[in-house]
Each structure stands twice: as structure tokens, then as C-alpha cells.
Amino acid sequence: MSGTIAEKILAKASRKKYVEPGDFIVADVDVVFAHDGTATLAFDVMKELNEEKVFDSKKVVLFIDHAAPSPSPAISAIHNRMRDFSKLHNVKLYDVGNGICHQLLPSEGYVKPGSLVIGADSHTVTHGAFNAFATGVGSTDAAIAMMTGKIWLKVPESIKLELNGNLSEGVTSKDLVLFLIGNFKADGFNYVAIEYSGSTIEKLSVDSRMTIANMGVEMGAKASLMPLNENTRVWLSKRVQGPITPVEPDKDATYYKTYSFDVKSIEPMVAAPPNVDNVKPVTELEGLEIDQVFIGSCTNGRLEDIELALRILKGRKVKSRCIVIPASKEVYYEALKKGYIEELLRSNCVVGPPTCGPCIGAHMGLLGPNEVGISTTNRNFPGRMGDRDAKIFLASPLTAAASAVEGKITDPRNYLKEVS
Amino acid sequence: MRGKVVKLGDHVNTDFVISGKYKFKTQDIKELSKHIFEDLDPTLSQKITVGTIIVAGKNFGYGSSREHAPRVIKEVGVSAIVAKSFARIFFRNAINIGLPVIVASESFIDSTDEGDKVSLDLEKGIIRNETKNMEENFKPYPSFISVVMREGGIVSYFRKYGAFPWDTR
Ligand code: SF4
């Protein structure tokens, strides 16, 4: 019996020879995590179940990242409950200042090819970039997984997305995934596992692969899976223990559908409010005045993203407020060593501590009534990043940086032509 | 189960159910439920009473994994959600907490109006709009989900049996 990447990982996790789409399985998780937006509800569920012990203290991880450092006494109390839980159960907690869960989980070595990763956060699909089956769940599922190491799952259909060719100058992995979301829409891959393949994915950096996998959930996907590539293997080899064994699809695996794209013709894209699938080429929105730019989040807060932004920001001053937040302490530190933080400050950007920041509208740069923001994050629902009447445009770090310099939505290619 | 319909459109996302801004004010479901659907339509919460059945369009519950969303909907008395489709995390969260989530046909949903009386038979998989005299079948849940549902959610199931449904199978 042959399988897709998703089916092969799920078969192994449920100790079966093979699984088929539609099967209900109970699988062993390799790691389960929650953050300050979801952990305490999971603790409450564990309490309701009269069980507070975790199944394996090495496989449960907590992150304080959504509102960190705490902006209010109520949130401080949530954080303290997480600290107490971590001490009591000897579970690793990444406290204030370490960074975003989806950045830390792989960079701290918790994710390997073939892993089953369960997170109490919808962007858990990010870890599919590492050839793992990773999916987001609610607090009840997370609590049960923490207690028992098990999760019920319905095996999803797999669809194959073949991406071939090189991205054009000024076009990034973010533009590519926005293009896909615009094409397939917010529910286009509801309940399916996306399996990426093709030369584009094969060549991409780890940072770019994470950006694409991250936004799989914006098309409704249960998981975004990528085959291991050389960049990812090298990256992981410095971080994980034990052998790295890639999971490849069988030659005769069955896909519900296969789509192919040549990525060469994709332009810089922007998701306009009020939905993430309202995607347009930047050229259609150019000139729209903005109040704030945010470069950061689990979608685009990595070193590569800061480098991209600096291709335009370096030596220029921003016209709108521009907040830059590295996704983790490691990213921050690398950016510091390379002189990027200084360059950002010279451009008059505000650089924040590693955290989710304004992405979730909890702290550090909320948009006011009728303000317009352009952001490298992943959701633009009304109210997501502040006031309900604020408008949020989602774009790549290049487009965000060019827009910051002009104070209006700007095609980054205008700037890149000058330098090259 | 039988209830009066509150009708919603497509893509009701979790930030519409409870605005993300309240997530960090409190985690208390009772407190959060005061703000239900505030960003979608501030008057909506007044229409919901105990037993209300929400009938909605495509991709209901799209967005975050926050279980607060289905919990708040259950808290205000909604007895079931019928939609053209659901976002997957919301769907499983709802099942886990014992809030019935049913997929019905586009035509059934399009012809159902606010205020209609709708009844549901989860075991047989029948949905009926009594006001419009329409009926259709849906695929009942697989057995292990329907036991969870019958017990009011996975937590109640565990409390009653001291095991998860898969342990006793
Ligand atoms: S950065 Fe934004 S999308 Fe990512 S985990 Fe944090 S709040 Fe969620």
C-alpha cells in the first residue's frame, strides 16, 4: 500500500502499516505545545479531567510569546500559571524574550522529518517545512495530548502542489504563498494535507519554506508538508539529535488533486482587507497611504526577512511608523551581529523584543480607528491588529519596506531596479 | 433537538466570534461570551437565546485554533451550528466540547431564513426546516464521534468512563 508524505507519517504514528483518507486514527504525538493564548485553557481541561500529569515532560513545551512581556496584570497572571505548571511538571517553558513558538520549536530541535507535531495554535502547520506532519488543535486536544501523548485524527486527503521555476526579482516566498491563497481561496484546501513538490521548493531556504508552510492554514489546510531539501537538512543537523531520515511519498501515492505552477510570472502580491484571500498584485494598490508598517511574526520575522527589508531600508528613512520584531532571540542576535539592528534604527524603525507583537493585536503597535497598516503577518481580519475599523494589508518584507519608505503602498521593484 | 435559526453568512471567522482583543483581557468563557460576535454585528448577541441553531455559509470558524470560539458559542446557549462547510480546527474543537456541527447542502441553507424553526436528529442524520417544510439527510458521525457527542463532549466522556473513547474500543 503506497502513501503520500502525510499518510506515511500518520501510519507510523498510529502504528499501522498504512492509512487511507477518511480513516479515524489515534496517533502518538512526538511533541505537543501551547502558548500564553491557549495553555491555561488546556490546563483547565486537564483539571476537569482530574489529571495534571504530563505523559512525557520532554515532549511537552510551553511558550510565552503572544503578549510578552506582559502588557497587563491579568496576562501576567496567565504567564505565572504557565511558569508554575512548567516547574511542577518539569516541562520546558520558553519565557518572555525567547521568541515565537513556531520559530523556537524547530530551532530548539523539537521537530524532525517524520514527526507528528501538535500545537495549540493554528499556524502549527509551519513545521511541515521540516518534512513533519504538524497541525493546530484547540485546548482540549492539546490537554489530552499532554496527558496521554495521543490525539485522534481523521486522515486527510493529500493534494499535490507542484511549484517549478525561480521567483523573479523583487518577488519572495510570501508573494508566492499569497498568490496561492488568492488562487485557491481561504477554504480551498479545507481539511486536506497540502504536499508541496517541484524545483522551487527544492531550492528554497529554510526561512522561505517556513513562510509558505505557515500560511497553508490560510487556505484551510490541515497540514502543509514539504519534502526535505538540502538547506533544511543542513539546518536541522545542527539542532536535532539522532539521525535525520526524510519521509518521501511513494511513487504511486494517490493525490486527490495535483496542481502545477510555474512561479516565474508571479508578481509582488498584497492581501487587502477584509480577508486574506482578497489578494491583488501590488501594482493595483500602489499609492494608498499607510500609517504603520509591521515586519515580523511567525510568517516573516526571520533573518532572511530582515535582510530583505534592509535591501530597501538601508540608507533610507521611513515615512510611516515602522515596527520590526525578530521572531526569536536567535534571529535578534544574528541581526545584531550582522549590524542589521543598527541599520534599522538608522532608518528610524522601532525594533521590538522577540514576540508575536502587533500580529495578534495584543500589544506593541495596535492600529487606531481608520488607520491603515501594511504587515508581513498572516491575517487581516477586521480587528486583528487593533481597531475594528483599521485596515490591514498583508505583504512581503520587501513590499512592506518599500511602503514604509514612501508612506504608501509601493512596488518594491521600483527600488530594486535602482540598486541593481 | 429543535431551535430557532439565527442566520449568518460565509467565512464567519474566529475573530468575529470573539474579537482577538478580548483574548488577552480574560480567559473566562462567561466574561468572553458577553462580547460574542461583537466585531461582526454588535446587535447579534441579543438575537441568540437558549436553543438557537446557527445556520451559516461556507467555512464557518475560519481562523485561529482558539477553543474559546466554540466554547463561547455553546455558553450563550446555541444548540448546534449548521453550515455549508466548517474550518477544520473549529470543527474538531466543537466536537470535543460537544457542540454539534452539521454540514448541510447549499440549497437547504440558502432557503433557510432567520427565525425559521429547525430540528436535528444527530443519530439518524436528518435535518428539517419545519417552517419551510424541507428535510434532508446528512452523514451521521462515525460511531466514536457520536458517543463523544452523546456524552456532551470528550471531557464529559472521560469523566464518566475514566478513559477516552479509543481506550475502550
Ligand atoms: S506571530 Fe501571529 S500568527 Fe504567529 S503565532 Fe504569533 S500571533 Fe500567531
A388 lies within 8 A of chain B by CB: yes
Per-residue pLDDT tens listing for chain A (420 residues): 789 999 999 999 999 999 999 888 999 999 999 999 999 989 999 998 887 799 999 999 999 999 999 999 999 999 999 999 999 999 999 999 999 999 999 999 999 999 999 999 999 999 999 999 999 998 899 999 999 999 999 899 999 999 999 999 999 999 999 999 999 999 899 999 999 999 999 999 999 999 999 999 999 999 999 999 999 999 999 999 999 999 999 999 999 999 999 999 999 999 999 999 999 999 999 999 999 999 999 999 999 999 999 999 999 999 999 999 999 999 999 999 999 999 999 999 999 999 999 999 989 999 999 999 999 999 998 889 999 899 999 999 999 999 999 999 999 999 997 544
**Torsion angle defined by CA atoms of residues A296, A300, A304 and A306, in that order, rounded to the nearest 10 degrees:** -30
Q: Show the domain range for B169.
A: 139-169
Mean pLDDT of B16-44: 79
CA proximity to A292, closest of A377, A231, A172: A377
B159 contact residues in A (CB cutoff 8 A)? 48-50
Q: What architecture is the A270-419 domain classified under in CATH? A: 2-Layer Sandwich (3.30)
User: Alpha-carbon distance A71 to A73, whole Å?
Assistant: 7
Tally of CB atoms within 10 A around A325 = 27
Contact A397, A308 (CB under 8 A): yes
Q: Which residue of A lies nearest to B57 if distances are taken between CA atoms?
A: A187
Domain identity same for B73 and B156: no
Domain identity same for B74 and B102: yes
| HSE value, Cβ hemisphere, 13 Å, CA-based, for A148 | 22
Domain identity same for B109 and B160: no
- Ligand 1 shell residues, CB under 6 Å: A 66, 100, 102, 121, 123, 297-298, 356, 359-360, 377-378
The complex's ipTM? 0.87
Mutation test of the interface with chain A: which of B14, B32, B64, choosing the one with the most A Cβ atoms within 10 A? B64
Phi and psi torsions of A32, nearest 5°: -135, 135
B44's enclosing H/E stretch is helix B44-47
Domain identity same for B130 and B155: no
Domain boundaries, chain A: 5-262, 270-419
State in Å: Cα A266 to ligand 1 middle.
Answer: 26
Indicate which CATH number applies to the domain containing B23.
3.20.19.10
User: Alpha-carbon distance A157 to A257, whole Å?
Assistant: 9
Domain identity same for B133 and B145: no
B66 contact residues in A (CB cutoff 8 A)? 37-38, 138
A75 → closest Cβ in B24, B85, B86:
B24
- The pTM score is 0.91
CB pairs under 8 A between A and B: 120
Domain identity same for B154 and B73: no
Phi and psi torsions of B86, nearest 5°: -125, 150
B21 lies within 8 A of chain A by CB: yes
Q: Domain A5-262 - what CATH class? A: alpha beta
State in Å: Cα A356 to ligand 1 middle.
Answer: 5
State in Å: Cα A212 to ligand 1 middle.
Answer: 14
Domain identity same for B33 and B66: yes
Domain identity same for B86 and B159: no
Domain identity same for B160 and B108: no
Contact A252, A1 (CB under 8 A): no
Residues near A208 by Cβ (< 8 Å), separated by ≥ 6? A172, A173, A304
A80 lies within 8 A of chain B by CB: no
User: Alpha-carbon distance A102 to A214, whole Å?
Assistant: 9
**Torsion angle defined by CA atoms of residues A5, A8, A10 and A13, in that order, rounded to the nearest 10 degrees:** -130
Contact B108, B129 (CB under 8 A): yes
Ligand 1 pocket test target in A356, A363, A375 with most atoms within 8 Å of CB: A356
Domain identity same for B63 and B115: yes
A137 → closest Cβ in B16, B65, B144:
B65
Q: Which residue of A lies nearest to B67 if distances are taken between CA atoms?
A: A138
Domain identity same for B121 and B144: no
Domain identity same for B114 and B79: yes
User: What is the number of domains present in chain B?
Assistant: 2
B13 pLDDT tier (thresholds 50, 70, 90): confident
N-to-C CA span, chain A: 52
A384 lies within 8 A of chain B by CB: yes
Q: Do domains A5-262 and A270-419 have the same CATH topology?
A: yes
User: Alpha-carbon distance B56 to B83, whole Å?
Assistant: 5
